[in-house]
Amino acid sequence: MKVLKVQDATEKKIETFPYRGEHLKVREVTVRWLSQAGPLESPEYGLRFFRIGPGGEIPIHKHLYYQTMFILSGRALCRGHDQETDAPLHEQEVGPGEAVFIPTMEPHSMVNLSDSEDVTFLCCIANVYDEDNN
């Protein structure tokens, strides 16, 4: 067993996310790994703590792992995008106490709706792949 306080986990600023051969700019986002099984590059399981600062954004991206996000604070707009065109298909405003499930390979993005408050969320991932197909 390992016990870790969120503030004791190393906070890493995310600068870009890969998508369709490009590195898209991420705005005001940090991550702290709370647990993981397997190598950091492609863990079989992981729990992460994310912070999206005021006006911050995670751009469109996709991955082969399943992902569930549990919103702790703030309000965010989550978007699901078309597999072919990347056009937004649906969007949902989410806040504290809500969970968002992202199926494998579904393009998605997230924006902090506030210009003064952080959005924080836990993100649980379960890896289902051997290589990254972004």
Which has more pLDDT, 133 or 43?
A: 43
| Domain limits, the chain | 8-126
pLDDT-derived band at 40, boundaries 50, 70, 90? low
Amino acid found at 119 = V
Q: What percentage of the chain has pLDDT greater than the value 90? A: 82
pLDDT-derived band at 41, boundaries 50, 70, 90? low
Beta pairing partners, 86: none
Answer for the pair 63, 126: CB distance below 8 angstroms, yes or no.
Answer: no
Which tokens belong to 13? Answer: 């600023």
Average pLDDT of every residue of the chain: 92
The CATH number assigned to the domain with range 8-126 reads 2.60.120.10
